[in-house]
Amino acid sequence: MSGVRFPHWDTQLRRRARRSKRRPAFVDDLGNVLDEINAWGLLAAQQEAQHRDITAFGPDLFRGFLPHAWAGVALWYKSKGYYFYDQIQLLGIWALRNDREAIDIVCGLRALRYALPFFSAESYYHRIRREFRTCYKDNGQPPTGERRRYACAWEPTRRLAIRRDLEETLAQWATRPEQGT
């Protein structure tokens, strides 16, 4: 049967070729910046580490457009134990478009409060492993002010230096993860 060709296959291939030519290439410069500094890998390593006092989940991708476009990778964590669901911390690395249309890199923390009117342990612990937005009503936006632990302007020529700085920032965080504010 290897030499048999079906006429509808050729039609399908031509349709796919026409569709792919019509689609414009999507340029995601914020996502590319996060890839170049290995944001996912840095946070995944922290999530997999055996932290003494916290339980970490994630990482996951987040994106927003207000007040400026931003994209980020974040993990979320809480104090170990059944009763510590009322607040989690969001630790992430974000790429932000600033007022001058340049890109800034930010690493920092945000505290999120539990937002549902009741607590069901079974559903909470099922969902928190996958995502936090249902229970904490947040979109993963970047931190502001003193909650930023690292911030710099993105320069492709400094990519490795920025990655090294982020590794050091996350290593400092790992020695004493903040439990809440």
Question: What per-residue confidence (pLDDT) applies to 67?
Answer: 86
3 state SS of 150: strand
Residue 86 CB partners (closer than 8 Å, separation 6+): 113, 114
Q: 6 or 144, which is more confident?
A: 144
5 pLDDT above the threshold of 70 = no
Sheet holding 70-79, edge to edge: 54-64, 70-79, 87-97, 103-113, 148-153
Question: What per-residue confidence (pLDDT) applies to 69?
Answer: 94
Question: What per-residue confidence (pLDDT) applies to 3?
Answer: 61
Counting every residue written for the chain, the total comes to 181
Q: 177 or 72, which is more confident?
A: 72
181 pLDDT above the threshold of 50 = no
180 pLDDT above the threshold of 50 = yes
Question: What per-residue confidence (pLDDT) applies to 132?
Answer: 94
141 pLDDT above the threshold of 50 = yes
CA 178 and chain centroid, separation: 19
Question: What per-residue confidence (pLDDT) applies to 26?
Answer: 60
Q: What is the pLDDT of residues 53-105, one digit of tens each?
A: 999 999 999 999 988 999 999 999 999 988 899 999 999 999 999 988 899 99
**Residue 58 parent element (H or E):** strand 54-64
- Give the mean pLDDT of 32-36: 96
- Per DSSP, 170 falls in state H
